[in-house]
């Protein structure tokens, strides 16, 4: 940078006006022309418009919670690992309000908006935010506007802020390019797998999910999670499963369940979990021993696939296919919270080709997954490097001009 940092300031040095919470009215069953964000729109990758609801009638054009393109949002309540997530709102094509569990931060003329987002997502500041959160359970803690305003952050000139943003945005562009290439690979593979699964159903017929499993679907534990403890089983929740059906490797987001509550919900090799509620109803995960000792939570349904009828990996592939996604969309109940019961999942029809035919598709999937994993490793390498550069830049340890 142009010089050494001149010190630390409170975050509100960079902010204009008060930090305000949003508004959380009762969701409308009908389209009203105005939408509202769900808490899940703030992710570890920033803002994603993936959890939208219909706002009720009566939201005026001057409502205090209406968003503008570029507004910076911060979640004020979540698990300790996820509280304080930050994202820049991007116009979704219709008026939108933000909920009470988010705060809106408005930068002043001493702050470049993109710099503020980079600053709040940097590892040191994230740790301070998580440490300031309070609550009686690790599964729901909150941060106050005062604790956010009082965060100690480095003081930068506007010129140095802009140069830091350019460096970090260049890293983000490299990551996005790799993610785009991975998505293209996954899309091509999805086409192959859906074609094969459709042909299998037509040629070999189907059976219910219950018939290819031992005992049908079973609900998970309703016990409260505790802080992650390697002496206890990991507690697998819907939020621990990523979009590719893998268990999150983010240790900071993991929680545990005491042994006395876990025993009847422990997972075994080949167990298939299906989300039964929420916006990701139908998301699936196939347990692997390398994921460690795990038990599953109540919003998931477990199927113990019978390997004499179906390979567990084939069952997982089926639930990643279009036929299953279409069935979920048709059967999910939208009244109240989205839901599909274990009884309904039991009745879902899956293709049942001979085991050798199943094995052929599973082998192809394993090869494709290996290729995808290499691409994912490169993405993670770039993200780690980007985070290290972010820490060094935003702490003043290195100058922008020293970063290649």
Q: Is residue 1 part of a domain?
A: no
**C-beta separation of 241 from 273 below 8 A:** yes
Residue 234 burial (CB count, 10 A): 23
- Widest CA span in the chain: 72
**C-beta separation of 267 from 288 below 8 A:** no
Which of these, 320, 352, 327, lies nearest to 202 by C-alpha position? Answer: 352
**C-beta separation of 87 from 41 below 8 A:** yes
Task: Give, for 180, the enclosing helix (H) or strand (E).
Answer: helix 158-204
293-302 average pLDDT score: 97
Residues 309 and 240 in one domain: yes
Q: What is the pLDDT of residue 401?
A: 57
Ranking 121-130, 135-144, 202-211, 285-294 by mean pLDDT, the lowest is: 135-144
Whether residue 4 has pLDDT greater than 50: no
Whether residue 3 has pLDDT greater than 50: no
**C-beta separation of 154 from 3 below 8 A:** no
Whether residue 402 has pLDDT greater than 90: no
> Can you tell me the distance from the alpha carbon of 376 to that of 179, in angstroms, rounded to the nearest whole number?
8
How many structural domains are present in the chain?
3
Phi/psi at 47 (nearest 5 deg)?
-80, 130
Q: What is the pLDDT of residue 162?
A: 93
Residues 16 and 152 in one domain: yes
**C-beta separation of 365 from 303 below 8 A:** no
**C-beta separation of 394 from 126 below 8 A:** no
Residues 182 and 311 in one domain: no
Residues 90 and 78 in one domain: yes
Q: Is residue 37 part of a domain?
A: yes
Long-range contacts, stretch 212-215, CB < 8 angstroms, 24+ apart: 212/305, 212/306, 212/309, 212/310, 212/315, 212/350, 212/352, 213/272, 213/303, 213/304, 213/305, 213/306, 214/304, 214/305, 214/306, 215/304
* Structure confidence at residue 1 as a pLDDT band (50, 70, 90): very low
Q: What is the pLDDT of residue 392?
A: 87
Average pLDDT, the chain: 91
Residues 226 and 346 in one domain: yes
> Can you tell me the distance from the alpha carbon of 352 to that of 303, in angstroms, rounded to the nearest whole number?
16
Q: Calculate ∠ Cα 338-75-238, nearest 5°.
A: 35
Return the CATH number at 136.
3.90.220.20
Whether residue 6 has pLDDT greater than 70: no
Which of these, 49, 26, 30, lies nearest to 38 by C-alpha position? Answer: 49
Q: Is residue 385 part of a domain?
A: yes
Q: Calculate ∠ Cα 143-149-153, nearest 5°.
A: 110
Residues 228 and 135 in one domain: no
Whether residue 232 has pLDDT greater than 60: yes
Whole-model pTM over 0.85: no
pLDDT in tens, 140-189: 899 999 999 999 998 999 999 999 999 999 999 999 999 999 989 888 88
Residues 308 and 170 in one domain: no
Centroid of chain to Cα 192: 26
Q: What is the pLDDT of residue 403?
A: 57
pLDDT in tens, 334-366: 766 789 999 999 999 999 999 999 999 999 999
Residues 46 and 146 in one domain: yes
Residues 221 and 98 in one domain: no
**C-beta separation of 284 from 312 below 8 A:** no
Torsion from C-alpha of 207, 208, 212, 218, nearest 10 degrees: 180
Domain of 372? 157-187+359-404
Residues 346 and 284 in one domain: yes
**C-beta separation of 223 from 285 below 8 A:** no
Phi/psi at 256 (nearest 5 deg)?
-120, 170
In the sheet with 52-54, reading across from the earlier edge strand, the strands are 52-54, 35-37, 96-97
Ranking 44-53, 83-92, 110-119, 319-328 by mean pLDDT, the lowest is: 44-53
- Please measure the distance between the N-terminal and C-terminal CA atoms of the chain and give it in whole angstroms: 13
Residues 53 and 28 in one domain: yes
Q: What is the pLDDT of residue 279?
A: 82
State how far the alpha carbon of 339 is from the alpha carbons of 193, 300, 329, 331, in Å: 27, 11, 11, 9
């Amino acid at each position: 940078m142009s010089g050494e940092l001149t010190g630390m300031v409170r975050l509100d040095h960079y902010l204009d006006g008060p930090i305000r919470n949003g508004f959380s009215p009762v969701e409308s069953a009908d389209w009203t022309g105005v939408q509202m964000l769900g808490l899940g729109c703030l992710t570890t990758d920033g803002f994603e418009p993936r959890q939208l609801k219909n706002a009720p009638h009566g939201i005026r054009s001057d409502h205090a919670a209406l968003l503008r393109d570029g507004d910076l949002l911060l979640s004020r309540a979540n698990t300790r690992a996820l509280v304080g997530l930050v994202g820049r709102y991007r116009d979704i094509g219709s008026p939108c309000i933000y909920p009470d569990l988010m705060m809106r931060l408005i930068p002043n003329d001493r702050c470049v908006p993109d710099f503020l987002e980079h600053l709040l997502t940097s590892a040191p500041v994230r740790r301070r935010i998580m440490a300031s959160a309070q609550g009686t359970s690790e599964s729901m803690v909150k941060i106050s506007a005062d604790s956010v305003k009082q965060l100690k952050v480095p003081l930068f000139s506007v010129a140095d802020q802009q140069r830091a943003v350019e460096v970090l945005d260049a890293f983000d562009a490299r990551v996005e390019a790799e993610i785009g290439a991975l998505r293209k690979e996954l899309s091509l593979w999805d086409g192959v797998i859906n074609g094969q699964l459709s042909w299998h159903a037509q040629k070999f017929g189907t059976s219910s999910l219950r018939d290819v499993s031992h005992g049908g679907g079973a609900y998970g534990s309703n016990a409260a999670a505790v802080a992650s403890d390697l002496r206890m089983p990991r507690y697998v929740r819907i939020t621990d499963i990523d979009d590719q059906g893998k268990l999150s490797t983010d240790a900071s987001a993991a929680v545990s369940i005491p042994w006395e509550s876990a025993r009847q919900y422990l997972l075994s090799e080949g167990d298939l979990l299906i989300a039964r509620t929420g916006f990701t109803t139908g998301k699936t995960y196939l347990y692997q021993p390398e994921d460690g000792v795990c038990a599953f939570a109540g919003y998931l349904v477990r199927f113990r696939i019978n390997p004499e009828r179906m390979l567990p990996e084939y069952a997982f592939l089926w639930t990643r296919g279009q036929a299953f996604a279409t069935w979920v969309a048709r059967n999910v109940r939208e009244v109240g919270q989205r839901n599909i019961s274990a009884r309904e999942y039991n009745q879902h029809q899956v293709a049942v080709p001979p085991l050798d035919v199943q094995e052929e598709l599973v082998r192809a999937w394993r090869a494709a997954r290996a290729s995808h994993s290499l691409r994912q490793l490169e993405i993670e390498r770039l993200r780690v490097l980007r985070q290290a550069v972010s820490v060094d830049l935003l702490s003043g340890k290195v100058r922008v001009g020293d970063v290649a």
